[in-house]
Structures are given as C-alpha cells and as structure tokens.
A and B are shown apart, each in its own frame.
Chain A
Amino acid sequence: MPADSLFIQLPTDSPCVMIEFEGQPLAVPSGISVAAALLASGIRQTRRTAVSGAPRAPYCMMGVCFECLVEVNGVPNCQACMVTVSDGLKVRRQQGARALNALAEEGAHDGI
C-alpha cells in the first residue's frame, strides 16, 4: 500500500488483480470496489467538478453521492463504488463538464 494512502488494508487472503488507472498499472485485492481500490492505492482525487474545477473524491461509498463517477473501459459515468474490480479493468478520471451535463440532460427527459 502506498505511503500516502489514507487507508491501510487488514491482511486478507484474497488474491490481487491488476487494474489500470490513467494508464498506470495497480495491483489491488480482488472482490473490492473500484472506488475502494483507488483509495487503497493512494489516489485521493477522482474527478474535478464541471462548474469550478474543484477536486472531488468518493464520499458515500454506497451509490448515493455520485462523487466517484469515472470512466470504466471507455464507458463514462460509472459509479466507482458500485463496480467490482477485475483483471485488466481500465479506469480513467472523468473530465467533468461534458459527461456530467450529458447525464443530467438525459435524466431530465421525462419517461426515459
């Protein structure tokens, strides 16, 4: 676990899987969420806001706050706290503005 991580992991016997964050390989325990894996790997910010560019990171870990939105294998707007890590998973920071607004706009249509 990197020195600057806010979290440490209890010893477990779960094997590691390799994921990629912004092109960087990370060895993370299997069975945990992408958000947990990023936090454990010392990644403190996962996105910047569309409006002011402020840094943000996962807040609730249970699918409520949507602060953890990332791009997973090219699909934007994935809740990192709700996706389980798997070998070869490619995660990228979501570049705020467009993606978030597109989602909100899509959501604003009645009856989708």
Chain B
Amino acid sequence: MASERIDLLIIGAGPAGMSAAVEARRHGLEVLVLDEQPSPGGQIYRNIRESDPQRLAILGDDYSAGRRLADEFIASGARYVPGAAVWQVGEQCQVHYLLEGRSVVVQARRLLIATGAFERPMPIPGWTLPGVMSAGAGQILLKSAALLPAGPVVLAGCGPLLYLLAVQYLKAGIQLSALVDTAEHRDILQAWRHIPKALLGWRDLLKGLSLLAKLRLAKLPHYRGARALRIEGAECAEAFCFSSGGKVHRLPTNLVLLHQGVVPNTQISWSLRMRHQWSDAQLCWRADRDQWGETSLAGVFIAGDGGAIGGALAAREQGRLVALAVASQLQRLDGARRDHLAREPQGALARCLAARPLIDALYRPQAENRIPHNEVIVCRCEEVTAGQVRADVRFGCLGPSQAKTFNRCGMGPCQGRLCGLSVTEVIAEQRQVSPSVVGYYRVRPPLKPITLAQLASQSNHDLSPETP
C-alpha cells in the first residue's frame, strides 16, 4: 500500500500543525496535513493568506504575524489537504476523513493531533436564543467573511480573546454597547502569587494590559465584576441583563457575543481512550503527554492548545518539538542531535508558558457561569437543563456517560462538545467530589456527521502527485 510513505500525519493546520510540518520536512519526513478549514492558519491565523489590507489593519500585528508561518508551511513540501474533516482515528495512526462528501482512509507511521481549542461553554439564561453567539464566532465572521456587527453589540464574559475582539471592533469603527466583564480587580489580588514567575512571560502580560488600556482610552462602557448575566427575548435576543457595582442593568440589544476562555478540543484524544487529567487551574481536561508531546498511546502526539491552553506561540514550539521527536523515532536524527536542536524551542516554550498561571487566575471564569442554576440549558442539542442533570444525580447518576442514558444530554449532534464540561462540573458539584472523580463522556466516532452512503464509498488516500 502506498500509504507507507506517510511518516507523519498531522490533523490541524494551525500554528502547532504548521510548524510541526515545517520542522518535519527539514528532516526529510513525508508529511500529510489534514484540516477541515478551506485554508491554513488554524483559529488565530484563520484565512490569513486570503486577507485584505483593511482586515489586516483591524485584526492587528499578532494576526499578520501568521502570514510568514503559513507561507513557510505551504512552501515546505508537506502535502496539505484543506476541507478534510477527520471523523475517526484509530489507535494505530489510521485516520478517516471526509473530503467533498467522500470518506477517505489513510495510514501513517506517526500521528500528531493539533486540533487546537474551542471556546468554553457559557451556559447562562437565554444563551440559546438567535442573536447570541460566541465572541470567537464574531471574530471568525470578521476574519473569514469581513462581517461586522450592524448595530450596537454587547460583549460579555472574560478573557484576553474578549478584550481583543473589543479592540478589533473599535478599530473597525463598530459601536459597542458595552463590555460586560465578569472579572474584577479583586481577582488580581488572588492571582498575586503567580506574578514573580509570570514576569518571565512579560510580553504576554503587556499585551493583555495594553488591550485594557486601549479600551479605557476609547471610553467604552466597561462594567466589571458583572454577575447574574441573563439574555432576554422570545424568538431572538432582545436585551442583556446583569448586575454590577450593586446596580441592575438592562441593555437593549439584538446581538450578544459571549466568551469565557478557551479549552482544549479533546474529542479525538477521548475517542482514543487516552489518559486525561482534570486541571483545576484551567478547569478542563488535558490528555497526558511527555516532554515531547507523546501521549499514552505510543506514536500518537498532541501539540498546541489541543493538549493544554498555552497560546499560539507555545503551540508553535510544541509543534517543532513533536517533529524533532518523530524524526528521531524514525531514525532521521540521533538522540544527541535531537536534544541539541530541541534546546531552543524548549527555552522559548518555557518563556511562553511562564505567564499562563497568572492569566488563568486573572480570567478564571465565574462558577455561576459554568455551573448554572437549575433552569438553564446546559445541553443545547437535547435541551437538557442543569436541574435535570442534578435530579438525575439524586437518582444515582454518577458521571456524564451515565447522564446520557438518564436524560440524553450529550447525545445530540455536537456529541457533548458544548455541554461536556458543564455536565462534568454540575455533577461534581452535586456529588461534592472533584471533576476527576466523575469523568467525561465516552466519545465515539463518527466525530463528524457522516452518512451511510459516504461510509460505503470510502476509499484509500490517493498519494498521486496531483494531490495538493
């Protein structure tokens, strides 16, 4: 089978996947990169090669910086298949993907999962109404479709990405109704013990502070310590309500963008039954990895935000380290040379990660927006409320996998992507145990919707030269 020629298969063409591909090519590995997006860049550099000067100016320098990596990646000689949605991964580095309505299967010697992060669910009353989207969605509309809010928009939640979007909208001349921030000054005091180490990562910290300074200068209404968030509306969002500084506010709006941080996309790692740990600092699951990014499944690696949230620069360095480890495993590098080459990315990675604990502590999402009141829907697909999950715990439900059979939560098409963390935390709170005790859903393929007809027509990956 021709597929023996793929040394390293990479899922995801974000900073982690692209830099792994570039480094692996330097050592002569045959690389195949699959990504469901139409162009390379991942989340941070989405659509970077197609962007125009106006959008580049709005999105800022950190975005433009991705162009070089994306160009290097395209020129690297790695085979890149855009529009390829991976729906199943086998333990032996066998990957099934959908391309233009056909299923294709490919076998590789080593596998890198670089599928990045998605936004943490933010289950608050009214979050399922049309007109309520994630802040990431707002940014994606800008990056990939040049769309901006038509009327006043409310941004609510916390975290650097929320402030970044506010700054980008202001640059674009968009009218923001308000930034409703769930973080407050007090959080800074609680985070103080992380500061000495965090100074190593001062660049990241400065970036956060300068974003906030820009927002102050713009005289944008910025409410801090917001609680009791709620969206009102019948058929669509009509108003955003919250309390802040002892006052109750109601802002009429048809567009609300929510965000409270990003969490690793663990769909593939869970489907492979890898070992995961609950992180109390980042309030999410993380697959176990060694210093090279290799998981509890030999030959399968994870790099970037799909393993643990570290940001785009850390993702890049981790991608390089995976490539070095794979090159060494496949006898393209000896151990000493690998270690020598790894020194630079390892140092850079340590600097990138130094500020993380402080960022995590500063923007820790509020419990009430993660473990909501009974009436709030946690599973959007099957419309299961937090109250139903709590009731099932009283009837003996011990964890998310069991909850599926009690009330169907996590059984809908999103397969728990948007309720998994909420359900884990609601059950843990109700049982008064740690999330690590209650666990997560059993994730099963297909990870993407696939019809039986598509499945029946599955073919082997074609390695002929015309493959892009």
Interfacial residues, chain A to chain B (CB-CB below 8 A):
1, 5-13, 29, 31-33, 36-37, 39-40, 44-45, 49, 51-52, 54-67, 69, 75, 77-79, 81-82, 84, 100, 103-104, 106-108, 110-112
Contacts and interface: CB of A to CB of B under 8 A. Distances in A.
B89 to A, nearest CB: 13
Interface stretch (B192-200, B305-313, B375-383, B460-468): B375-383
B373 interface: no
A56 B150 contact: no
Interface of B: 36, 38, 43, 50, 52, 54-55, 85, 88, 101, 118-119, 128-134, 136-137, 140-141, 144-151, 172, 235-236, 254-255, 265, 380-383, 411-415, 417-418, 444-446, 448-452, 455
Contacts of A45: 130, 235-236
9 contacts: A5-B150, A8-B147, A45-B130, A55-B129, A59-B132, A59-B418, A60-B134, A61-B136, A64-B118
Contact of A66 (B119, B146, B414): B414
Contacts of A63: 36, 85, 448
Contact residues of B: prevailing secondary structure:
loop
Nearest to A78: B449
A103 B449 contact: yes
A59 B248 CA distance: 27
Given A32-B144, A60-B119, 8 more contacts: A6-B150, A6-B255, A9-B145, A60-B134, A61-B136, A81-B140, A104-B412, A107-B449
Contact of B144 (A36, A51, A60): A36
Contact of B444 (A56, A59, A108): A108
Given A7-B147, A58-B137, A69 B413 contact: yes
A93 to B, nearest CB: 13
Nearest to B172: A10
B119 A8 contact: no
Contacts of A110: 444
A55 B126 CA distance: 12
A54 B383 contact: yes
Contact of B141 (A61, A69, A82, A106): A61
B131 A61 contact: no
A71 B132 CA distance: 22
Given A7-B149, A12-B146, A59 B133 contact: yes
Contacts of B446: 106-107, 112
A67 to B, nearest CB: 7
A1 to B, nearest CB: 8
Residue picked from A32, A63, A64, most chain B C-beta under 10 Å: A64
Nearest to A29: B145
Contacts of B141: 7, 36, 39, 61
Contacts of A69: 413, 449
A41 to B, nearest CB: 11
A75 B444 CA distance: 23
Contacts of A78: 449
B401 to A, nearest CB: 12
Contacts of A9: 145-148
A112 B136 CA distance: 32
A56 B147 contact: no
Nearest to A99: B413
A64 B417 CA distance: 6
A54 B381 CA distance: 11
B452 A106 contact: yes
A102 to B, nearest CB: 10
B400 to A, nearest CB: 15
Nearest to A59: B133
Contacts of B417: 64-66
A51 to B, nearest CB: 4
Contact of B146 (A10, A58, A111): A10
Contacts of B132: 59
B413 A44 contact: no
Nearest to B449: A77
A81 B137 CA distance: 10
Q: For the complex of A and B, list the 5 residue pairs with the smallest distance between their C-beta atoms, beginning with the closest.
A: A57-B130, A61-B137, A36-B145, A32-B145, A66-B413
Contact of A6 (B149, B265, B383): B149
A54 B412 contact: no
Contacts of B265: 64
A39 B147 contact: yes
Contacts of A62: 43, 118, 136-137, 140
Contact of B38 (A1, A55, A84): A84
Contacts of B236: 44-45, 55, 57
B137 A12 contact: no
A39 B85 CA distance: 23
A97 to B, nearest CB: 12
